[in-house]
Amino acid sequence: AEMVLARDVVGFETRGPVRAVRFADESSIAARTVLVASGVSYRLLDAPGLGELAGRGVYYGASASEARSCEGDDVYVVGAANSAGQAVLNIARYARRVVMLVRSDALDKAMSKYLVERIGATDNVEVRLHSEVVAGRGTDHLEGLTVLDHTTATKDDVSANWLFAFIGATPRTDWLGDDVVRDERGFVITGPDVLLRKECGSRWPLTRAPFALETSVPGVFAAGDVRLDSMKRVASAVGEGAMSVYLVHRYLATI
């Protein structure tokens, strides 16, 4: 086995049975199969002062350990989809108060009803609609935020040591070019979906059905966050990686 470290893949191409990845210097590695596991980039808040505090009070996504670090503090959460709702309920178990900043006029626009109800029933969660963070402050760690209320057009400077943002993720799939079909957000379509999703049309070229995790290009597999409908968890990404080894062997036996 050979490992290539610290180099960005910038392109992908198929040449007959060859599946090749390309680097910025135009060199490439040719193989019979490729596993795409390039993950996602979390969308960042576009407000002055927050960029330099990422990882120091400002977090994109949250794990259980980060929620515990906020014990007894006030926590601000940006986002209004299910990931934000689940995080709010988790953080509320430890924080003194959780303030949800929601740009729209209602919480139930992008969040499941059961989460909206549970948030409504949690005493230490406050939901601020029509609100967004427009600035952050702090030297070594987040110390304060400026929150804009669109209803009153007023800005509020608040003390805050913790800000968690759940504003979406973009798959790192630009390098894949046109052959490997993705959905409208860029997530790689795999397995039975290759035959079912409209984006794939009649691209699948073989008489056999695609293997699980196989993309619209036979012999190219996708695992982890980059895959459409993946669970966005470490355990599932690792599991899919392990599963793809078996699937690669199955594919190699067919060519």
Ligand X SMILES: Cc1cc2nc3c(=O)[nH]c(=O)nc-3n(C[C@H](O)[C@H](O)[C@H](O)COP(=O)(O)OP(=O)(O)OC[C@H]3O[C@@H](n4cnc5c(N)ncnc54)[C@H](O)[C@@H]3O)c2cc1C
Which region, judged by CB under 6 A, interacts with ligand X, from 101-109, 127-135, 181-189, 233-241? 233-241
Taking the C-alpha atoms of residue 22 and residue 40, their distance in angstroms, rounded to an integer, is 20
Least gap, CB of 106 to ligand X (angstroms): 27
Return the DSSP state at 255: -
* H helical segments located in the chain: 64-69, 82-91, 113-120, 193-196, 234-252
Q: Name which of 197, 202, 167 is nearest 182 in CA terms.
A: 197
CB 232 within 8 A of CB 224: no
15's CB contacts (< 8 A; 6+ apart) are 30
How near is the Cβ of 94 to ligand X at its closest, in Å? 15
> Which CB, 109 or 233, lies closer to ligand X?
233
- Nearest distance, CB of residue 68 and ligand X, angstroms: 11
> Phi then psi for 16, rounded to 5 degrees?
60, -125
- Please pick, from the candidates 59, 166, 211, 221, the single residue that binds ligand X as defined by CB under 6 A: 59
Number of shown-chain residues binding ligand X (CB under 6 A): 21
Judged by CB under 6 A, the chain residues 235 through 254 that form the site for ligand X are: 235, 237
Q: How far apart are CA 155 and CA 149, in angstroms?
A: 6
- Considering only residues 147, 215, 224, 247, which one is a binding residue for ligand X as defined by CB under 6 A? 224
Q: How far is the CB of 72 from ligand X (least distance, A)?
A: 21
Interface with ligand X in residues 124-183 (CB under 6 A): 172, 175
Instruction: Determine, following the binding rule CB under 6 A, whether residue 37 of this chain makes contact with ligand X.
Output: yes
Q: Which is nearer to ligand X, 148 or 181 (CB)?
A: 181
- Calpha distance 239→243 (Å, rounded): 6
Residues that bind ligand X (CB under 6 A): 8-9, 37-39, 42, 59-61, 63-64, 172, 175, 224-226, 232-235, 237
